[in-house]
Amino acid sequence: MVAAPGQRLGPYELVAQIGAGGMGAVWKARDTRLDRIVAIKICEGRFSERFEREAKTIASLNHPHICTLYDVGENYLVMEYLEGAPLKGPMPLSEVVLLGGQIAEALNAAHTSGIVHRDLKPGNVMITAAGVKVIDFGLAKSTANRVPSSTDVTLTKPLTGEGTILGTVPYMAPEQLQGQDADARSDIFSLGCVLHEMITGERAFSGKTPVAIMAAILEQEPSSAPTAPAWLRRLIRRCLRKAPNERWQSAGDVALELRDPPEEAAPVAASKPLWQPWAIAVALALVAGWVAWRRPAPNPGGSAVRATIESPEKYTIVSASGEGYAIVSPDGKSILFQAGTRTPPRRVELWIRSLASGDARPLVADGAPASPVWSRDSKWIAFRTGTTVKKLEIATGRVVTILDDGREYFLGSWNAAGEILASDRRNGSIVVISDGEASARVVAKPPEQAIYRNPTFVPGGKGFVFSQATDAATEPSILYAESYGAAPVRIAEGLHPVAARTNGRIQLFYATPTAIVVQEFDESRKSLVGPVHTIAGRPFGAGAGSFAASDTGILAVAPASRAPESQPFLVSRAGEGHAVADPGGYRQPRFSPDERQVLIEKWESDRNPGDIWLIDVARKSGSPLVTDRNAWDYMPIWSPDGKEFIYTSRSTRAHRVVRHNLESGKSAEVETGLSAQSIIFPTSWSPDSLKILASFDRRHLVAVDLAKRSAHRVTQATGTESAGVFSPDGKFVAYSSTETGLAQVYVIPFREGGPSTAQKIPVSAKGGTSPMWRRDGAEIYFLDPQGTLMAAPISRGDPLRVGEPKALFDIGLEAGTASYDASADGKRFVILKTLKRDHPGTIEIISNWPALIETSGR
């Protein structure tokens, strides 16, 4: 048949031809049902016996290093689409060993199923993001009279009266050339040829014509591979023995030899730059190879290898609620990460990725799973959905509830005794969660105005480390407690400690203001000792899960990122509308009282992370109002008359609340009566212009009297409060609080001079943040945990009543909080649409991280 782009074969739409052969063509196509890219092999003419055999052969195989068959059509095969390049030497020794082992494993799987490939060669081995993929199992015992060329020829012509030879000449076993039946040992001979070419870049047997090559295979020894170690040369020579019974008798044995070489065979660094199209796949496979090739303990004498894990298709690797970019399993074989869908309906799923095969699959797709941790045996994971802590068995998918006490926990570490360290989001305490216990046990309580986060057990020890944040002008600290309830000791200035043990020593990773570093920890002395080694640049907002390490030498790092690139849009209640400014890094858009302008925070660069801009809605353009190169200026709010705005200005050691007059262009610091060491985010200006609401130390909601220069708490709640906004008449405050464990939106009457004692009124039921009043008081808007903008009707009276919230439109998980504002009539919204993230949802994997310590210590 004649094929063309756009043509349909059943549900498959052809995109482009990517290959051709004697039996037909190979096309890239799109499966319109599942919206995935596939490869289609189209048979010339009728569906041949070879195609039928190939379909049956591939369908009987299920292995991560063998190309997968999806479907069979009238005259075509639908297979896995492989992005990569054919195998080509020479390669570094470490790549030869790893990739060669994967080829041997694929052959062993085929042989175990009674299938012999008969045409193994570099062109039938693809390097993909999942490592190698062995392709083309379709060679049949055809008698087609095709004359071979003088190059890389696949023969199907009878050369003797007794049999037919099949295969590609330079990689064929002697018995194949002699027309005898090929068996598994024939594939092992071909494997030896491939391994030789991977090392040297040259064929094991060469000649100017196919006949000369055949003579060399039948009569000569293979060419030498002087760069290979002795053990590998012996392995290849045994593959290439002339007599089948003198070769390795099983491809599985070859795979075992490659996975567990002699002790003198230490891995070596790659000698080629890892920028080839297939390099990420090779490097990622090397990560797994480092663990599986030798033994769990890393070898400091080797070299570190860096690779990148990309997001699954249609997903972005995210840190939901500031938790869990990527968590390495204790055995170093898998990575857990959270991925959010890129299009509505927005949701976060928990994924697992094998470092050996590169395969990734979702484990938990319901309830916005967050804060994952591994069990010490790598057989279970624990995670949180809302206020429920659960565990999942990797092998079976069985889910068991561990704890549901109505509180929200950030999980940190799981020890061999089955105890999970966590921090209580409500009060910042460190707790221990155990199966069978009705509540968490507090083991470390923070001092006033401080919170504890990121707890992790010290491997093999009794103690644990964690970080303390005061939300003041001082940097957070790393603390160590030698046992539950013991007084903690400060051991470093930094954030997010991660402990790992290598070569009998405890190494502590943590984030400084500029980098991720590692230093040896002496548990007996309760202190860090020796030099500090820099591992990577610090991820922006390095919080829980932004990097993780295993004792086996695997380190996962979430790359540096700033706010996602976004664009302000003016939209209807259906979410439809147009952009009002150019793309950039924005946060907290706020309509002016006349709705002609939008006050917004804009990220200009790493050197100048936050400025205040003013957008003209009609002209669809913006200009800067506050640009202090020595400070981060953010969280602007309008005065009721639109003549002023207030914002927070943060420099290295100071946080100020600043009042800016638009008419005069002058700014002045606002005296709040609060500690100079506190962080204050203004969130709303009262209708009478006399007060502002502000977030105080990211925990409490306060009202600041601008004339009296004093402040007081708005509520008596014990949870973390945020995003307080005055009602249009100033008599109520809507806010978000975690006092019940899960962030919810409430309304409470505002009281002058002190916290309100009235009963709070719930607005959200299934979680909510970022409340906003409609300016006529008829609705309250908020974001649900999936990033959907919700509208709750308000009935004024005594008492005030809140109706059932209704979904308006999706804003998106990446947009997060401070991402919208509503017009006075609730018919228009200014929102931030996320265009792309500064990092596209990637994780850097570093294998053999102890080598980085050795290198920087020289």
Indicate which residues carry an active-site annotation.
Answer: 119
Q: Could you give the CA distance from residue 254 to residue 256 in angstroms, rounded to a whole number?
A: 5
Q: Could you say which DSSP state residue 199 is in? A: H
The answer to whether 823 and 595 have CB atoms below 8 angstroms apart is yes
> Hey, what's the torsion of the CAs at 168, 174, 177, 181, to 10 degrees?
-100
Edge-to-edge strand list for the sheet holding 409-414: 409-414, 420-424, 430-433, 441-444
13 beta partners: 8, 30
Residues 6+ apart with CB under 8 A from 197: 89, 122, 203, 204
The answer to whether 830 and 580 have CB atoms below 8 angstroms apart is yes
3-state secondary structure of 9: strand
**DSSP H or E stretch at residue 237:** helix 230-239
Q: Could you give the CA distance from residue 787 to residue 561 in angstroms, rounded to a whole number?
A: 20
Residues 6+ apart with CB under 8 A from 246: 238
The answer to whether 481 and 493 have CB atoms below 8 angstroms apart is no
CA-angle at 240, arms to 237 and 242, nearest 5°: 120
Q: Could you give the CA distance from residue 69 to residue 78 in angstroms, rounded to a whole number?
A: 6
322 φψ region: left (φ > 0), alpha (ψ -120 to 50), beta (else)? left
Q: How many CB atoms lie within 10 A of CB 717?
A: 21
Which of these, 818, 825, 741, 841, lies nearest to 791 by C-alpha position?
825
77 beta partners: 41, 72
Which of these, 499, 353, 481, 332, lies nearest to 412 by C-alpha position?
499
The pair phi, psi for residue 765, each rounded to 5°, is -120, -30
248: Cα within 13 Å, side-chain hemisphere: 25
